[in-house]
Structure 1
Amino acid sequence: MTDRIELGLEDTSSAGCACCAVPASAADIPVAAASAVTEEVLVSGMTCAHCVSSVTQELTSIEGVQNVTVGPHPGGASRVTINSSTPISSSAVKAAVEEAGYALADTSV
């Protein structure tokens, strides 16, 4: 087949689109997420969105914490996932949770 209809979907003048173009140098490659640290803890006493907000606010105030995700479990221990750029001390996590008015459950995950 030598007859080909050009649909204009491919820009043949560049190295590719943004999702598949080859970076110009190693400096253009984003840092891998593997350098991030993820820790999960269980927090008791959280029953509502306000609880989640309070714990999240206190934990994100710790230096290096980038994101906090809470899986609330009313009547039981809620799973809290902390993503940070560097390891966070367990005493800092405990202090932040207690500052929010809650306690770490006996067992971390």
Structure 2
Amino acid sequence: MIYVKLALAIIFEVIATSLLKKTEGFTHIPFTVTMLAGYLLSFYFLSQVVKVLPVGIVYATWSGLGIVLISTAGYFLYKQALDLPAVLGMGFIIVGVVLMNVFSKMSVH
């Protein structure tokens, strides 16, 4: 169940961050409210996860996967190109998250 909460924290953070552009500097109220709700839900679920798992593992997973998913969302939603260095960098992020979650002694499974 804890990994479901972590997944929800990541999903809500990706939704919220993806909506930042649509808020138009917080002037478009419906997108702004939705974005704020996304961050609130993300941090709520994140706060639940760090009760059980080490904060370093949680934050690396949340932020790392968030970067990859937001970059992918930017590609599809805003036509923001991902060049080879960006794709390679995202690959390294994924490898780093996997290494931390699978092999780190600080991880509690």
Q: Shorter-chain TM-score: what band?
A: under 0.3
Write 1 or 2 for the structure with the bigger share of strand. Answer: 1
TM-score (norm 1): 0.24
Give the TM-score normalised by the residue count of structure 2: 0.24
